[in-house]
Amino acid sequence: MPEWIDLFNGKELTRWSGLDDAEHEWATSEDTPLQPADPTRFDIRPGEGLLVNGPSGRTANLISDVAHGDCELHIEFVLPKGSNSGVYFGGHYEIQVFDSWADEEVTYQSCGGIYCQWIDGQPVGGTAPNVNASRPPGKWQTYDVIFRAPRFDDTGRKTSDALFESVIWNGQTVHENVSVGGPTRAAVSGPERPTGPLMLQGDHGPVAYRNIRIKLLT
């Protein structure tokens, strides 16, 4: 049986590096409460347990040292007001992380959305979550995802698209069997492939993550 792999032990970033080996400001933290005078920012408390994208909230994306194909992922995140991040499966297919608290309508750009592709300067596709399961800024949230990687034949021709078999957000199923025809916007460069790293977006605003665990299903 596949076993869970902890991608972050709360103490160090040994399983992570900046995209394209870029320098970054991701660091561990004990807590990230919102600043009382500015709820769009964290009051970062030095220590261990959390992974936070630095004092400015804008730094390089992180990629994992584990390459995955089919996988199950558990990840927890917290955002201040108005912030934005994302979790990219295989480095190519994004589940949006966004402050969508109290939004009456949701789109692919909302938290829980499967982000669009970007083709010839235009958005293509994207899938909104079927409910808004957001919690308020400063409250921890959870994704539990089963992902199926794209398939390729012996010549390298893609025979089936990547598939989000299920996305459970804060205990609510918001996607089932949603295929993604190609890399979503801001994915890592290069063609689709059967395996790739997990990527955490760090350049769109403050975010913290914890309890990042992956189970390799292939």
**Closest to 111 measured CA to CA, from 147, 90, 136:** 136
Q: What percent of the chain shows pLDDT beyond 70?
A: 100
In this prediction the pTM is 0.97
Strand 71-78 with 208-216, pairing: antiparallel
- Neighbouring CB atoms inside 10 A of 40's CB total 16
Q: What domains sit in the chain, N to C, each tagged with a CATH number?
A: 4-216 (2.60.120.560)
Q: How far apart are CA 208 and CA 210, in angstroms?
A: 7
Confidence of residue 218 (pLDDT cuts 50, 70, 90): confident
pLDDT score, position 103: 96
Over residues 61-67, the mean pLDDT reads: 97
pLDDT score, position 160: 97
Given a contact cutoff of 8 angstroms between Cβ atoms, the answer to whether 145 and 72 are in contact is yes
Over residues 44-59, the mean pLDDT reads: 97
Confidence of residue 1 (pLDDT cuts 50, 70, 90): confident
Is residue 80 over pLDDT 90?
yes
The 10s digit of each residue's pLDDT in 166-213 is 999 999 999 999 999 999 999 999 999 999 999 999 999 999 999 999
Is residue 70 over pLDDT 90?
yes
Q: How far apart are CA 131 and CA 206, in angstroms?
A: 24
Q: What percent of the chain shows pLDDT beyond 90?
A: 98
pLDDT score, position 165: 98
pLDDT score, position 30: 98
Given a contact cutoff of 8 angstroms between Cβ atoms, the answer to whether 64 and 7 are in contact is yes
pLDDT score, position 71: 98
Is residue 2 over pLDDT 90?
no
Over residues 140-152, the mean pLDDT reads: 98
Which residues have C-beta within 8 Å of that of residue 21, sequence separation ≥ 6?
A: none
